[in-house]
Amino acid sequence: MPFLENILAPVSVVRLIGPSDVAIQGLTFDSRQATSGKAFFAIRGVQADGHAFIFKAIEAGCSVIICEILPEGLSSQVTYVQVNDSAEALALMAAGFYDHPSKKLKLVGVTGTNGKTTCVTLLHKLFRELGYNAGMLSTVQNQINETVLPASHTTPDAITLNALLQQMVEAGCTHCFMEVSSHALVQHRVTGLTFAGGIFTNITHDHLDYHKTFDEYIRAKKLFFDMLPAKAFALVNADDKRGAVMLQNTKASTHEYALRKATEFKARIVDNSIQGLHLEIDGNEIWFKLIGTFNAYNILAVYGAAVLLGEDTHEVLTVLSSLTSAAGRFDYVVSDSNITGIVDYAHTPDALENVLQTIQQIRTPSQQIITVVGCGGNRDATKRPIMADIACKLSDRVVLTSDNPRFEDPQEILNQMQQGVKPVDFKKTLSIVDRKEAIKTACALAERGDIILVAGKGHETYQEVKGVKYDFDDKKIVKTMFALMGK
């Protein structure tokens, strides 16, 4: 059990009141989790200010308080550490508390608007196949070798994160592949970690509810490359115009991948069909099971990272060619009457456009595309009309519906989506609030050979309404509807 003075060193302390040789039994930033002997971090959040809960934390037995503003009426039983940024202090001290597990692994982070889960899942599967013990932290799930642990965030909070990395070290893992979200970067969830490499996939419209402007969103992503150490690699998509921006101030060695530009890691698409991708990489022609141009980028990112981690190019390509994508990413079923139902986690304008363009490329002229799509509540509202417009532009029929309404009125979200539907597309568009009914309608509309895309929820097995998660699984519903309708 570490003492406060052992883990305080990297933190710039404004004022220390009380002894520093106190044993710390645990860390928490939530007074509801506070117990005897823990250190409580008062963090200013979006909904609340943790400083309001300092007294509750002390009542629950916390003996150390880390805060930005000292409370009135200090207790002589407690050590107070005043800092400039409690979230930063939390991350630095969490790394120390768990004895710096990120230094004992090759930790690779992936950031970008789309493709993070796909890349970390492929990297994890690849390194497992190559014989390594490896961990993964992703939106879908966390993994220590083959042991699956549930994930509540794309990037966990600094305490959970360091605890998971420590468990990976104890399980003998040599590598960990993790998603680094823009929220995590701004909130210091990954501060104090030692990365062996960082990957940038792309940056397009999302999360403007949180970051306010696109420039702020870019700045958040760039924080990741600015924090990489000199020994690490920074690998970016050079076809994205922000790829170069990410590399501007990094100390890490810089590397690029691309389909269009001439770069260190480069591929050419020979063929792109529902069977997969046929790529030429470094003079090798290879078939991959993954579908769509966007996955050619993901394959290149994973290939580049594996090579930069010292793996053999041929071995990497051989294993990669056998891998399938993460759950809920271009996940499809084909009915008895040859209707294809695709479930995909496209929940941003760019992802939706990419997945629909891929479907356009692989369909024959007689196959209709029927898209079912909604947008999440209490998240970026500006993407709603844009996503509806993209769905209409690239589909023959569209059923607008709900995603996770959370605490918003689902009809209001639908109204906002409808604002993006152009008059010319009114005839092809339906709006059905109930997602199950919407999927049922799409299945009823589908004729032999047609393609249904159910976008936005991918792997999710629930629908979140007013704080309650109800069972809901797009893929299961599509299958059930095909069976019920005898399609």
Ligand X SMILES: Nc1ncnc2c1ncn2[C@@H]1O[C@H](COP(=O)(O)OP(=O)(O)OP(=O)(O)O)[C@@H](O)[C@H]1O
Contact residues: ligand X, CB under 6 A: 112, 114-118, 139, 154, 179, 201-202, 294, 297-298, 329, 344-346, 350-351, 354-355, 458
What own/partner pairs with CB < 8 Å and gap ≥ 24 does 9-13 have? Answer: 9/96, 10/92, 10/93, 10/96, 10/192, 11/81, 11/83, 11/88, 11/89, 11/92, 11/93, 12/83, 12/84, 13/81, 13/82, 13/83
- In the stretch 151-170, what mask flags binding to ligand API with x, by CB under 6 A? ---x----------------
Q: Are strands 141-144 and 147-150 parallel, antiparallel or unpaired?
A: antiparallel
Asked whether 260 and 221 are in contact (CB, 8 A), the reply is no
- Pick left, alpha or beta for residue 338 (phi over 0 → left; psi -120 to 50 → alpha; otherwise beta): left
Nearer CB in complex with ligand API: 154/204 = 154
Determine phi and psi for 64, rounding to 5 degrees. -130, 135
CB of 302 to ligand X, least distance (A): 11
Asked whether 391 and 400 are in contact (CB, 8 A), the reply is yes
Rounded Cα–Cα distance for residues 451 and 448 (Å): 9
Rounded to the nearest 10 degrees, the angle between the axes of helix 435-445 and helix 474-484 is 50
Name which of residues 334 to 353 contact ligand API (CB under 6 A): 347
Q: Which residues contact 264 (CB under 8 A, 6 or more apart)?
A: 255, 256, 257, 304
Q: Cα dist. 172→121, 167, 196, 241, 450 in Å? A: 19, 9, 17, 39, 48
Rounded Cα–Cα distance for residues 387 and 403 (Å): 12
Residue 376 in contact with ligand API, rule: CB under 6 A: yes
Rounded Cα–Cα distance for residues 91 and 75 (Å): 25
3-class DSSP state of 468: strand
Name which of residues 92 to 151 contact ligand API (CB under 6 A): 139
- In the stretch 141-170, what mask flags binding to ligand UAG with x, by CB under 6 A? ------------xxx-x-------------
Residue 217 in contact with ligand UAG, rule: CB under 6 A: no
Choose, by CB under 6 A, the member of 114, 162, 166, 181 that binds ligand UAG. Answer: 181
- In the stretch 184-213, what mask flags binding to ligand UAG with x, by CB under 6 A? x--x--------------------------
CB of 118 to ligand X, least distance (A): 3
Region near ligand API per CB under 6 A, out of 9-17, 308-316, 443-451, 452-460: 452-460
Binding partner of residue 50 among ligand UAG, ligand X, Mg ion, none, CB cut-off 5 to 8 Å per kind: ligand UAG
CA 248 to the chain's CA centroid = 24
Binding partner of residue 358 among ligand X, ligand UAG, Mg ion, none, CB cut-off 5 to 8 Å per kind: none
Binding partner of residue 346 among ligand API, ligand X, ligand UAG, none, CB cut-off 5 to 8 Å per kind: ligand X
Check the annotation: does 403 bind a ligand. Answer: yes
Number of residues that bind ligand API (CB under 6 A): 10
Choose, by CB under 6 A, the member of 38, 50, 136, 376 that binds ligand UAG. Answer: 50
CB of 203 to Mg ion, least distance (A): 14
Residues that bind ligand UAG (CB under 6 A): 29-32, 43, 45-48, 50, 53, 153-155, 157, 181-184, 187
